[in-house]
Amino acid sequence: MTRDSTDALPSTQKTGFTDSTQSTRSSASSRYGLNEADASPILVYQYRGDVDVIPQKELADMVNRDLSKRVTRKHIPRGTSSLDLYGYDLCLPEEKDSFKHRAAYWVNLASVPIPRSIYWQHLITGSYDQLYIVSPQSSPENSIYEGDSRKVSPSSTWEYRSQEDTSLGATKASHRLL
């Protein structure tokens, strides 16, 4: 009986192909330092959304399912009832140096209120010492112009309205003079 060389390989590599979904899943959560098995509750802010308390493994699953999401963390100082988020809070540590020169890096993006129950738990026991920020992954694809998605700009709307208002104002003024 001859032994096949693939018998020594893990079951995912017996075909010669790797399970790309599994490697992508683990790399997404490991990139952000999330533990897929940790069921402890964490405080999560979804950018331009709500503050929630969810298990860490649920956040890891969410990031693994939607690769357009990214996770950063911000320390919550004791006694803080709200936390200001700046552009640099959405950057990963390895990206901070390359984005320092951009104007949006220093801009205050949001003020996140800490829920009262979380505030007291953090103040008394020291739990919930970090806010996990979920934001969209920035990429060139997010900025691609699509002809159908073009919207009317405010300047073109104001230009039209100002011409209309000018002619309307002129007729009202001429009626007052009569």
Give residue-wise pLDDT tens across range 30-65: 788 888 888 999 999 998 888 999 999 999 999 989
How many domains does the chain fold into? 1
Q: What is the pLDDT of residue 168?
A: 54
* Angular region, 126: left φ>0, alpha ψ -120 to 50, beta rest: left
Residues 113/142, Cβ–Cβ less than 8 Å: no
Angle at 33 between CA 28 and CA 35, to 5 degrees: 85
166 inside domain:
no
Torsion of CA 65, 69, 70, 71, to 10 degrees: -70
**Residues pairing with 55 in the sheet:** 41
E strand or H helix that includes residue 54: strand 51-55
Backbone angles phi, psi at 47, to 5 degrees: -50, 125
100 inside domain:
yes
What pLDDT band is residue 170 in, cutting at 50, 70 and 90? Answer: low
Quick one: which of 138, 136, 133 has its CA closest to 46?
133
Q: What is the mean pLDDT of the chain?
A: 74
Look at the pTM and tell me if it is higher than 0.85.
Answer: no
- For the chain, what is the total number of helices (H) and then of strands (E)? 5, 6
- Bigger pLDDT: 46 or 29? 46
85 inside domain:
yes
Residues 93/33, Cβ–Cβ less than 8 Å: no
163 inside domain:
no
102 inside domain:
yes
Taken as a whole, the chain contains a residue count of: 178
159 inside domain:
no
Residue-number span of the structural domain to which 77 is assigned: 19-140
150 inside domain:
no
Tokens describing residue 21: 């979904």
87 inside domain:
yes
- Residue 40: helix, strand or coil by DSSP? coil
Q: How far apart are CA 104 and CA 49, in angstroms?
A: 19
Q: What is the pLDDT of residue 51?
A: 94
> 138-142, 156-160, 168-172: lowest mean pLDDT where?
156-160
